Amino acid sequence: MKKCLILLFAFSFLFLVLPKTAKAASLSLSPATGTLNIGCTYSLDVVLDTAGAQTDGTDAILNFDSTRFSINSNSIIPNTNIYPDFPGNNVDESSGKITISGLASVSSAFSGKGTLATLRFVVKDQAPTGATQITFEFDPNDKAKTTDSNVVERNTVVDVLNSVTNGSFVIGKGACGSNIASPLPQGADSVSTPAGQLKNLDQLVDKTGKGTGTVELTSVVAIVGGVLTILGILGLALL
């Protein structure tokens, strides 16, 4: 009996003094692979997964090859359903660095998985072809570092970011509508697509800027309706 009490005391002591398992939040790009063709505009999601942690905010800092991609601060589209305030969004195109900073409200933390922000960028006309990456700036061995990507736990200064998934792409010379990674035409709004696919409006917008498919169908319906109306009037006149 005495030995059982000693063992129970020992296990209780270890439970109290051993640190709790840290949350393992992550940041990733979606999609993380694909072919990006010269002269095309693309949309890429930055995805946050807090892995159950309640968070006060997130900084996502990414590096890109500025000889291949063009992006500005207006091309960062924050998701205010995750964090209501994004005071630190910025692009330094000369150094190829993107900063996305989201803050939770005082009354509500964020916990879960979703798109932190969407990036819209252009593959430059003079971009070198071949492999390239868009990477998160992240040091897993230095949790005290504040100049890299981090996810801050609620009411603490603890960085719970544990892993990142970088993007590995290939710059190609194909047509904007025929490559693996679907392009988003410059100046066009985003369109809903299955998760993990670069968003594409090429199939909805022709080169004149007019919608394809829907416009033609509407025109045909209008013409047929007009003909039927005229025939109806002639039929009444003959009665």
Residue 192 pLDDT > 90, yes or no? no
Q: How do the domains of the chain map onto residue ranges?
A: 22-172, 206-239
Distance of CA 231 to the CA centre of its chain: 54
Which range among 5-14, 109-118, 185-194 has the greatest average pLDDT?
Answer: 109-118
- Mean of the per-residue pLDDT values for the chain? 75
Task: Tell which CATH classification among 2.60.40.680, 2.40.10.340, 1.10.10.10, 3.30.300.30 matches the domain 22-172.
Answer: 2.60.40.680
Segment 200-237, tens digit of pLDDT: 323 222 322 333 333 333 333 333 344 334 334 334 34
* 172 vs 202, higher pLDDT: 172
- Token representation of residue 80: 């205010």
Residue 7's contacts (CB-CB under 8 Å, 6 or more residues apart) are: none
Give which of 222, 27, 20 is closest to 117, Cα–Cα.
27
Segment 74-109, tens digit of pLDDT: 999 999 999 999 998 999 999 999 999 999 999 999
* pLDDT at site 177: 66
Residue 17 pLDDT > 80, yes or no? no
Segment 38-79, tens digit of pLDDT: 999 999 999 999 999 999 999 999 999 999 999 998 999 999
Residue 209, sorted as left (phi over 0), alpha (psi -120 to 50) or beta, turns out to be left
Interval 160-183 mean pLDDT: 82
